[in-house]
Amino acid sequence: MIVIFILANVTFKKNSIKYMNSEKEYKFLAYFSPNVIASYRNEPDKFIVETDYLSGRITLTDSYNKSLRKKNKGKVPQENIRLRFGYRTLKNGEMAIAAFLPDLFEDSKSHIERWRGYFMEKPIFSSKKDKRFEMWKESAFMGKWDGKFPITRKISDIILFLNSLTKETLGKPFFRYQKIKIDFPMAQNTISYQNAHAKIYGFLIDGISMETLSLLTSKIDTPRDLKGNQTLIELRKILPELEHSKYFLKIVSFIRKQRSISAHGVPDEAIKYNAFEKFSKDLTLIYKGYRELLFLLEKKLNMKGKVAKSRVELKEMLPVIVKAPEHNYSINKARHMIGKKILDVSYGHRKSYENVHESEAFVITFTDGSILGIESGSNASNVSWKKSKIRPTDFHVDFSLSWVPATKYKKRDYDKYGNPLIIEH
């Protein structure tokens, strides 16, 4: 059976998409009111709406996707959505959502009806050059990239560096949340602009961990009794250098003002405003401001944020020990290494023996003359006795090593894989 959907001048006819647009280069795009995005933001338990200066994407949350797949016996659920979109400026200064039709018709079929109600049949675009739309078109359809990461990515990296830095040095992340959610305003008015700032305030200021600030005071020898939950006030007292910052205090004060208008005061009537463009510029200032904070904390804690991030990630790859070995196991001899200095390390493939599995091995020589040899063991011989067709030499056992560099190291001391080229004593 052939199913045909008609969405104004958009036709979908089983596995084929045709968009009769006068602009040939945009034949796979259709334009919708930004209110369609709000309909997904109102269901954060089901949908993830990612927005940036150039584009956005809508997907299912992990929990909702898993629940649907469980009901659907592991298959892709009918409610699935994976839809990319950009923005295009209209003649009246408002924005239209430029949806990528293959995503809508192929990966988000059950959402077609929802989008139909927001379809703009004959949008009139601005006669001025739409730089943002052109940049999205070039990156999305032509594979062009100027090498610059979007501002939301830069802010996310700063957040990650701050969290990693304090987690490595103080034992706790700087923010109570691991990821920041930035929602660009979808309407060009003052209310939409203020609401977007209010959400950022909840993370960048209220989201600072008071517990971490308390640990920070002890670490940098400025002990004080933190009172209440005024994170910004306490942070300024702990780090008085922030009073001379070029961006940090300026941008956080501005965010607080916008949040106050949105949350506490009676909002005025919405006034037409270039909310999207202004919010984008504000994000650049936020990035610069929190980068200042990062640089200051790096100096105070004597560690680079990038190094801390690398260590946190590498530590997650280390094996997790859940049970102590038996007292007679040779692995207990590893404790002899505690407090010793390494003189030399030999490693490679171990000498082969008859009826014994192949293995890697390494020998560690310490400055006091003690030596520790490590090779792998297995039950290959035991298994071969039970099943005569399997020989011990059929088994090859190797080591899986995870290396976490010291907090202070020089990049030249390690190869591109993070392996040490020299050993510091």
What DSSP line would sit under 27-76, residue for residue? TTEEEE-THHHHHHHT-TTTEEEEE-SSEEEEEE-HHHHHHHHHHTTTSP
Exposed/middle/buried for residue 299 (C-beta within 10 Å: 0-12, 13-18, 19+): exposed
pLDDT at 176: 92
> H-helix or E-strand containing 259?
helix 248-263
Instruction: List C-alpha distances in Å: 131 to 24, 33, 279, 388.
Output: 19, 20, 17, 72
pLDDT at 302: 92
Q: In Å, how far from its chain's centre is CA 364?
A: 39
CB contact at 8 A, 58 and 49: yes
pLDDT at 379: 72
CB contact at 8 A, 60 and 48: yes
**Both tokens assigned to 413:** 């001391």
pLDDT at 8: 43
Instruction: List C-alpha distances in Å: 134 to 142, 268, 272, 283, 380.
Output: 11, 35, 24, 21, 63
pLDDT at 396: 66
Q: Would you write out the chain's pLDDT as a tens digit for each of its 425 residues?
A: 333 344 444 554 433 334 444 455 567 899 999 999 999 999 999 999 999 988 999 999 999 999 999 888 888 888 999 999 999 999 998 999 999 999 999 999 999 999 999 999 889 999 999 989 988 888 887 777 777 788 999 999 999 999 999 999 999 999 998 888 899 998 888 888 888 888 888 899 889 999 999 999 988 877 666 666 688 888 888 999 999 999 999 888 888 777 776 555 555 678 888 889 899 999 999 999 999 999 999 999 999 999 999 989 988 887 777 788 788 877 788 888 888 899 998 888 888 888 777 888 888 888 888 888 888 877 777 666 655 677 766 666 666 666 666 665 455 555 555 454 544 43
**Best CA proximity match to 257, nearest among 291, 249, 185:** 249
pLDDT at 169: 95
Question: Would you tell me the crossing angle of helices 210-219 and 151-169 to the nearest 10 degrees?
Answer: 60
Residue-wise over 396-409: b if at least 16 C-beta within 10 A, else e? eeeeeeeeebeeee
Cα separation, 306 vs 319, in Å, equals: 23
Q: Which residue reads 């944020």 in tokens?
A: 305
**Best CA proximity match to 293, nearest among 282, 283, 305:** 305
**Both tokens assigned to 138:** 């070039």
